[in-house]
Structure 1
Amino acid sequence: MKKQIFAVATAAALTVSAHASRSVNLQIDGTTQPYQGTLTDGVTYYPMEPLLCALGDWTVTWDAPTATAMATDGTNALIANPTANTITYNQQTYPATVYIQDGTTYIPVRLVLNLQGGSAQWDGYYGGVAITSPTASYNAMDYYWLSRVISAESQGEQYDGQIAVGQVVVNRVLSDTFPHSIADVIFDTNYGTQFEPTANATIYLDPTASAQAAAHEVLTSGGSVLGDDVQYFYAPTLSQGTWIRANRVYYTSIGCHDFYL
């Protein structure tokens, strides 16, 4: 159970500098976080306590004598110093902007994740930062969008059908014909809208539990429903699939979808 002990500082002078800033979303391993981060001069900052507690069993406290925010998970230790603008991780100190706003300590997301062995990347489709935690078995941005397109395209379908939809997306990423990331494949419009959920906005709905499981399976084991060359599908009850039927080779049908090479 995560401990959430956090005493706020009262030093009024420790506030964020007046640079151009805006609020941004943040998700960890595919789960949107309850607070927004702040993007300032190309760096995303997030409240220290909820960020660390979302990543593991961290205890965060404010140390008044040193005017620093201190955190430990029993093995690792992190100290955020807003006066010196440093982050110290396991006794190694790094220059980094740290600030206090409304009694909350904000720390740079990418640096803190990199120090722990995780990663943070900007996701323009999401409008925020995708964080892959140090223990995750998949990339957070990939999982976020793959689970959502599976859910939107095949919600209510048998599990094999959901796996198959995910495999089509990954097969496209690995081909030379389509973009080379899951998000770019899903939002690709080079030859018109490729996935209807991006047009009707159902891509932004929370995914079902089965879609999340299917996305996880496809990302970690590749799935085993379709061949590697299957890159197209459509639902005959909803679309005539004229171009696909005329130009691609039929492979199989699963549930309401027909799949093509």
Structure 2
Amino acid sequence: MFKKIIASAVFFAVTVLTTALPMSALTLNVNGTSLDCYAENGITYAPVRYFADLYEGYEVSWDQQSRRANISGNGLTLDIYPGKYYSVANGRCLMRDGLNSSRQGRVYAPVTVLAEAVGAEVEWDQKTRSVTVTGGGSSLASGSGYYDQDDLYWLSRIIQAESGGESFMGKCAVGNVVLNRVNSSAYPNTVKGVVFDKNYGVQFTPAANGTIYNTPSEESVLAAKACLDGFAKSGKILYFLNPRIAQSSWIVNNREYIFTIGNHDFYA
């Protein structure tokens, strides 16, 4: 199941990847209407209110206390948080490797997130440097029906136990390690199986010391949802460690270093 989820999410994201382009060099068309946009670090962003206004049945609001924009209607509740990587839609966590933003009083979000939330399709034309969104106006499947609850239970807990003090991206990277193992023939094919795997010794310390059973924070649950919804910082990473407290050098000496996030080094 995870192979299908991750593969489809990666394909969806790749179709709209762009290089960092100035605002004037990129065009966005939503069902025949041109819309303001910008691209940053390979992600195309659109203004949330103007995007939603192109569809019937959606209302857009701003909550100053929680500092979030909301799109509601047609069976959708979408919360977009400027300065965060994720948006929450019908209990699901939609995430790209770029922050939601606020520019000149407007909230911007990745076009792919907005399109996914409203059930639209996205295409990128390299020749014309244009992003085209077609269709939409339907509701997104709810998190309660979309996520396997056993997978969510164990993934959120291993994320909390291993990276509760890390950034949101750091939490997601730990979740990626678990799901990458699920997708590898070298490891068990379930989240719980990976977490409690003892081949070649205990793989995750929290499974041995009991901290795996601690209640996860809201952010750890969101990170688990983002991973289960297809976000992958890297599809290669299979190991991580904190080099300041690691008691073994096997990973460092035998695996390929990929990147560092916070206190953790990640390896393939």
Q: TM-score by structure 2 length?
A: 0.46
Larger Cα-atom Rg:
1
Higher relative contact order (CA 8 A, sep 6+): 2
Q: TM-score by structure 1 length?
A: 0.47
